[in-house]
Structure 1
């Protein structure tokens, strides 16, 4: 890594207005009631985390297409201006699109590819899951905007150390630990 380099792990997750239903406490013998509006909406939250510092960035979009990932690349570039950014990404088509790769190159963001079908290697997956459990389960928000704000607030409200802990980066078995300790 270059001296002013920063490593980021990137991922995105879907939020739906219909909540995921999980086991919950309710009066014995009665089914739990979860009120639904009858209409569903979807948003995609793009996010990245520095696995050394725990700093995170998020961007909500209506879709997960190449132009949406490119908007996130611009957000990252604006935040880390003057730094050499290396971003670990999966093989989603929004990432592999030629236009996304060209933009990343123009912005000076180096994309490194995680192996296919290996979400367990991406620490963002744990952050997404825990935030969804805390914010999205068994409750439908009045609007998608309200849910996205609560979701991002949950993730942004973690201290950097809490984010690293929650994501598994601080584990002795974290797969990038040798690289991080040697290069950062």
Structure 2
């Protein structure tokens, strides 16, 4: 499963602990930057690959399809805007909660490095669990 997530220097704000009646503080620089992190996940083995691209890529370009065929990669097209069907989307959700939320990195490269490290340090079993692929009702589960 191939998917991308957008990383921004400005952190996504999530719930956080603070004293009653006081707002939680998240230090930010006021600057912003953007990078796109691409991930590929094998929903059966948990193997993954992470790549950073700085230009929007066409999922459906003829060159991409040809390369996938040469590498023996089967492409499965999911409906657009259906993150519940894409296990990589579930992995990105955990990534943003655990790595990105409420924390601004010194620069976008540090954020990207933290993201790639987080994804690649997970064991295949952890990847499958976080992606939802171990759930009994997972739609791609081999019967």
- TM, length-normalised to structure 1: 0.71
Instruction: Please give the alpha-carbon distance, in whole angstroms, between the structure 2 residues aligned to 1:145 and 1:126.
Output: 23
Secondary structure of 2:113's aligned partner: helix
Q: Deviations over 1:18-57 (max 9, x none)?
A: 0011110122222222121121111111111111111111
Secondary structure of 2:15's aligned partner: coil
User: Between Structure 1 and Structure 2, how many residues are aligned?
Assistant: 143
1:115 alignment partner, one of 65, 68, 79? 79
More strand by share: 1
Instruction: Please give the alpha-carbon distance, in whole angstroms, between the structure 2 residues aligned to 1:40 and 1:33.
Output: 18
Compared with structure 1, are the counterparts of its residues 17 and 155 closer, same or farther at alpha carbon in structure 2 (3 Å cutoff)?
Answer: same
Per the alignment, residue 24 of structure 2 pairs with 32
Per the alignment, residue 137 of structure 2 pairs with 173
Higher relative contact order (CA 8 A, sep 6+): 2
- TM, length-normalised to structure 2: 0.90
**RMSD of Structure 2 on Structure 1 (CA):** 1.6
> Which is higher, the Rg of structure 1 or of structure 2?
1
Which stretch shifts more, 103-112 or 55-64? 103-112
Q: Please say if 1:11 is aligned against 2:16.
A: no
How far did residue 101 of structure 1 move? 2.9
